[in-house]
């Protein structure tokens, strides 16, 4: 059995506003984001999109396309990978490892929550393989604070093709 890696994500709620987004321009301010807004089928404050950014301000200012759609965005939640739910430990995660964990967390969160406007990663279960075909560990994602409509805990032990592999049962 593969080892299990825990990914802690601490979420912050902000208004969908260009002036507020400009405040998030630090070079190290990166992670995962969720966009919420009006959806014709899912109603008000629906989870519209989950994405990732190496710099929140740069990525999010390009996401104002949602304003011109029928989505009528209302808020954004910014998620940062931390070692634990203690914010001060965030600095201890090296940048390369944070990028890998962010990529994996985004894939898993999109597959589990199927946001209305995500197209990539929005089908099937987590296959547990990287771009080069390497097999990842199993993951548990713990969402802390303002995580919105996300589940507080998500695990690839449940949302993974490995569970459904009848040739090699767990």
Q: What is the mean pLDDT of each run of 10 residues along the chain (170 residues)?
A: 85 81 64 89 89 78 61 84 62 73 91 85 60 68 96 81 51
**Residues 6+ away with beta carbon under 8 Å from 22:** 57, 61
Q: Identify the bridge partners of residue 76 per DSSP, sorted by sequence position.
A: 14, 35
Instruction: Please state the domain extents for the chain.
Output: 4-164
User: What integer pLDDT is reported at residue 20 of this predicted model?
Assistant: 72
Q: What is the pTM (predicted TM-score) of this model? A: 0.78
CATH H superfamily, domain 4-164 = GIY-YIG endonuclease (3.40.1440.10)
Report which of 54, 143, 66 is spatially closest to residue 102, judged by C-alpha positions: 54
């Amino acid at each position: 059995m593969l080892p299990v890696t825990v990914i802690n994500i601490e979420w912050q709620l902000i208004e969908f506003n260009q002036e507020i987004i400009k405040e998030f321009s630090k070079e190290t301010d990166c992670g995962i984001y969720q966009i919420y807004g009006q959806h014709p089928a899912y109603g008000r404050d629906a989870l519209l999109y989950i994405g990732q950014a190496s710099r929140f301000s740069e990525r999010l200012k390009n996401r104002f396309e949602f304003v011109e759609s029928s989505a009528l965005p209302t808020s954004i939640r910014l998620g940062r990978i931390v070692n634990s739910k203690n914010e001060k430990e965030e600095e201890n995660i090296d940048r390369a490892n944070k990028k890998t964990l962010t990529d994996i967390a985004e894939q898993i969160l999109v597959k589990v929550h199927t946001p209305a406007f995500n197209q990539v990663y929005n089908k099937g279960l987590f296959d547990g393989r990287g771009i080069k075909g390497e097999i990842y560990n199993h993951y548990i994602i713990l969402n802390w604070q303002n995580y919105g409509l996300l589940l507080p805990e998500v695990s690839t032990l449940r949302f993974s093709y490995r569970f459904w592999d009848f040739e090699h049962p767990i």
